[in-house]
Amino acid sequence: MELSESPRIRRALISVSDKIGLTDFARGLADAGVEIFSTGGTRKHLENEKIPVRDISDYTGFPEMMDGRLKTLHPKVHGGILCRHDNNNDMKAMVEHGIQSFELVIVNLYPFEATVAKENVTEEEAISQIDIGGPTMVRAAAKNHKFVTIVTNPDQYSVVLEQIQTNGMTSLQLRRSLAKDAFTHTGAYDTAISKFFTERMEDGVFPENLTVSYHREAVLRYGENPHQQAALYVEKKPVCANVVKARQLNGKELSYNNLLDLDSALNIVRGIEKPAVAVLKHNNPCGAAVSEEISDALKKAMEGDPLSAFGSILGFNRTVDEASAEYLATPGLFVEAVVAPEFCPKALEILKTKPKWHANVRLLQAGKLDSKPSRWGMRMVEGGMLLQEADIEQDPEDQWQIVTEKKPEAAQMEDLRFAWEIVRHVKSNAITLCKDGMLLGAGAGQMSRVDSVEIAIKKAGGRISGSVMGSDAFFPFPDSIEAISQYGVTAVIQPGGSKNDAVVIDACNKSGIAMIFTGRRHFKH
């Protein structure tokens, strides 16, 4: 352990909002002979725990004022943090002005993010939680980490205390690491404040400057392929139930590809009102269904494309019940992972013990899906980032137009709504064929729309008669309609807007197919 140029830790300055673990840490410091200085609420906490502590105001000779806004912004505080112990002029100034050095600074900041996460928070309430003295001390101590140890997280208490108890000081390696964490901490804090004001004050939809902050949650085994390294970073304040904050109840570590598919599966079902299940493979739904019971939706979803469903990812928008778990335990059936709001105890017991693959299946409990996902979608490109509004809103059905001579019947309308809901989650060019609340076949990611149609027809097979078709964008030619006309497809839903709309409508009329124009495209690149 590198200890060179490290002064012995004689004094600590503690000012924390989060008191978790503080009592044992501070008592350990006091027992090691460290003199503790503190402010307001932290000082009272330590006094209540019978830990020796000096009030920082007694040291500075300057009282706290302005409802605590002014506490530590004083030369006797910052001189003690910023002094360079190997600089004669600094040390001379310390003696001349009666400044004592602080070799250890423990600070965590006002809970700004937790405050603004509350519903209907006022600007005054938010501003009251903008810490000034705290970040100033953190940055000062981190800058002077050659001589000062800065602690910003209770998780750091044990390693710091252990080194002090063993050596009376900390290693330069540890202080560098803590300084890095400290600057990350204040950077994320300032980003959260900037985001709060940007969302309320920025002119126009997009801010001129965009700063994002994520925390590394995990280093993954590898990325999309074994030769690629990967890690998972998370937002501090998720807006809704999601995969990265879900509780993993069983199974192996999640992979990069697992996370992508689980995210897509959850996003598909969260927007559907009826009990729904989505079956994901390579980030496209190969099965999806709705029903009155979640177990029936599961069965229908898995039967949409049984071959592709082997080794798939499942998303539920209801609690996984015992009947669903029993179905998943069917011999010969295999899934990689399941994400759902909850798992009933019996279902969890079955999935953890009954299938042959029980030890490896990842089970994720995401919580209630009652909040909308983020309004924004971000995509990285070389040298920059694309930001857009996420495609999460339901299309206004009162703007839909029936453009053909034949009108959809009530049962067809239900399937058209379902086909339209699913098609936005299929990679463009996207086609869905659906019947009885079930995805029969999907055509995804083809360079021509008619190719996607032909793939969906092949997937649907002999079940296609009586189905409806959804298309994420308009048909540039009537060839797709001509392709489905011989298989008994009864209705089509698409945005419209092609210069050949009249020709496509005519093809539907000739084949007795009903068609709806929604007026809105749903490309997913």
- Positions marked active-site: 143, 282
Q: Name which of 291, 312, 314, 300 is nearest 364 in CA terms.
A: 314
Locate tokens 């109840």: which residue? 249
Q: Which two tokens stand for residue 142?
A: 């981190």
Between 88-96 and 75-82, two packed helices, what is the crossing angle to 10 degrees? Answer: 150
| H helix or E strand, kind and range, residue 378 | strand 376-381
Q: Is the peptide bond before 429 cis (omega within 30 degrees of 0)?
A: yes
d(CA 33, CA 168): 9
User: What is the residue type of 487?
Assistant: Y
d(CA 293, CA 315): 15
Q: Which two tokens stand for residue 57?
A: 């105001």
Report whether 423 contacts 471 (CB < 8 A).
yes
Locate tokens 């840490």: which residue? 25
**Largest CA-CA distance found in the chain, in angstroms, rounded:** 98
d(CA 60, CA 219): 45
Which residues, at least 6 apart from 208, have a Cβ–Cβ distance to it below 8 Å? 202
| H helix or E strand, kind and range, residue 290 | strand 284-290
Identify the DSSP state of 70.
B
User: What is the residue type of 92?
Assistant: K
Q: Name which of 124, 150, 154 is nearest 138 in CA terms.
A: 150
Per-residue b or e along 368-403, where b marks 16 or more CB atoms closer than 10 Å to that residue's CB: ebeeebeeeeeeeeeeeeeeeeeeeeebeeeebeeb
User: What is the residue type of 97?
Assistant: H
d(CA 69, CA 75): 16
d(CA 141, CA 178): 10
Q: What is the DSSP string of 80-148?
A: HHH--TT-HHHHHHHHHTTPPP-SEEEEE---HHHHHTSTT--HHHHHHT--SHHHHHHHHHHHTTTT-
Q: What is the DSSP string of 335-374?
A: EEEEEES-B-HHHHHHHHHSSTTTTT-EEEE-----S---
d(CA 323, CA 149): 56
Report whether 262 contacts 337 (CB < 8 A).
yes
